[in-house]
A and B are shown apart, each in its own frame.
Chain A
Amino acid sequence: MNHTSYTVLTRDQIAERAAQDIPDGAYVNLGIGLPTKIAQYLPDDKDVFLHSENGLLAFGPPPAKGEEDPELINAGKEYVTMLDGGSFFHHGDSFAMMRGGHIDICVLGAFQVAANGDLANWSTGAPDAIPAVGGAMDLAVGAKKVFVMTNHTTKTGDPKIVSKLTYPVTGKNCVDRIYTDLCVIDVTDKGLAVTEMVDGLSFDDLQALTGATLIDATNSK
């Protein structure tokens, strides 16, 4: 098999790509970690309303040094500011927004995504690990669309996109699209449809790095 050379996307490039798919007026929850980078790539001419599970809607960028307010933090416990038009609410209302189908898009990280859209991102199942779940399960079931941002493989080269989860499930059949450092995949009824790949990467090479059957949909865009 001929292995062509290709360049993987950086985390910033994955975030920038995902940001392009967030429409004007969308209510969006960006999960802790990698997905929060997307906020930096939302263009100024779009109104995108960022929701934070701890009770913020339309929060803005981090404050200037010296202006941090310990009572104005996001879900990742980082300091933020509020945009004009932002609002505060309690936890019941916050999770009503999430569980009640009011969030248009949530972007989450993943340990694994299965071919049917099952998501694993809260537990590795390690027996000694202290379990913690936060709002991940609520986001997975409640958002109208669930996007996942992840590297295509683990640090040791194992596929993260698999035919069946081996890690404990966060939400069943919930993922709609996966953005990796190699490609973009739509999770469809017919299977995992690859719509984009990085330059120089062949479909066969991508398939070899994936633990589930892929469909080549790159020409049908």
Chain B
Amino acid sequence: MINKADKNITDVLSQIKDGATIMIGGFGTAGQPAELIDGLINLGVKDLVIINNNAGNGDHGLAKLLKTGAVRKIICSFPRQSDSWVFDELYHAGKIELELVPQGNLACRIQAAGMGLGAVYTPTGFGTLLAEGKETREIDGKDYVLEYPIKADFALIKASRGDRWGNLVYRKSARNFGPIMAMAADITIAQVSETVELGALDPEHVITPGIFVQHVVQIQPASPESASPESASAELSNTATTATA
């Protein structure tokens, strides 16, 4: 009997070791798996390579992970924000490595990994600083840059609902990188607001088929979908100890 629905964040995350490469879903804070990130911080692993669209906002979530010094390198498209002070300070101090990738290349390189492709030719970035040193090719009169897949040991993503076979649906603009990171990473851990019975998710509407997902963890945030990070941390310690069937 397969049951990918897990109740204990700490147990699920304990398989992550020092030096792991981890994709983290989210566009800004929308779709960022705050509770899984807090669990990762509590785990205390270090030397991590993180893949995300940004490099953290404010002082919570991904920013807090960076602040602990756990992250060696971040692969992202837009680190600089009005509230990216944590990243900014680490970067200027030479304490974090940055690989800047145009957002569409980030997406298609992640997809390429999940799709088993060896490489992709993309027109994005041709002739720019971000294509320096890379192979290029003209195909049918258009110029392309050769880009390689971005792979990961783990993906931490936020979905809306999931079932025990790992099928996932998402919520609005919180979807963003979730489905493609789920496809790409060796082990996908999805936090959901609600785990549902098999059959509750219409096969027509499943966004991430369970084949791509290894763990579905139900989270109870303090308020639906818009939990403040502080209350989410409080709930996290409650969730870990008061697991329901």
Contacts and interface: CB of A to CB of B under 8 A. Distances in A.
Contacts of B31: 71
Interface residues of B, number: 50
A74 B88 CA distance: 24
Interface in A61-89: 69-74, 77, 82, 88-89
Nearest to B178: A90
A89 B100 contact: no
Contacts of A170: 128
Name, among A52, A71, A130, the residue most crowded by chain B CB atoms within 10 Å (CB to CB). A71
Interface string B79-92: 11000100110011
Interface string A164-178: 000011111000000
Nearest to A131: B100
A97 to B, nearest CB: 10
Contacts of A99: 104, 108, 122-124
A108 to B, nearest CB: 14
A137 B172 contact: no
Contacts, number: 136
Contacts of B174: 71
A183 B60 CA distance: 45
The residue in A70, A95, A137 that gathers the most chain B C-beta atoms within 10 A of its C-beta is A137
Contacts of A168: 128-129
A70 B125 contact: no
Q: Which of A55, A99, A172 neighbours the largest number of chain B CB atoms within 10 Å of its CB?
A: A55
Contact of A137 (B30, B87, B102, B170): B102
A133 B102 contact: yes
Interface string A132-162: 1111111001100000000000000000000
A52 B175 CA distance: 13
| Range class of the A interface residue count | 35 or more
A123 B84 CA distance: 17
Contacts of A112: none
B175 A77 contact: no
B77 A134 contact: yes
B209 interface: no
Given A54-B27, A71-B172, A141 B126 contact: yes
Contacts of A72: 30, 172-173
Contact of A169 (B28, B127, B173): B127
A56 interface: yes
A46 interface: no
Interface in B82-115: 84, 87-88, 91-92, 98, 100-108, 110-111
Interface string A77-118: 100001000001111101100110000000000000000000
A134 to B, nearest CB: 4
Given A55-B176, A72-B173, A172 B127 contact: yes
The 10 A-B residue pairs with the shortest CB-CB distance in the complex, in nearest-first order = A138-B104, A95-B104, A132-B80, A71-B174, A90-B179, A91-B107, A54-B27, A135-B103, A137-B102, A134-B78
Given A72-B30, A133-B103, A135-B104, 13 more contacts: A52-B173, A53-B103, A54-B176, A88-B173, A90-B177, A90-B179, A91-B53, A95-B108, A132-B79, A135-B77, A137-B128, A141-B124, A142-B123
22 contacts: A54-B176, A56-B173, A70-B29, A70-B225, A70-B226, A71-B30, A71-B31, A71-B171, A77-B28, A88-B170, A91-B107, A99-B123, A130-B79, A132-B100, A133-B130, A135-B77, A135-B102, A135-B104, A137-B130, A138-B103, A138-B104, A169-B127
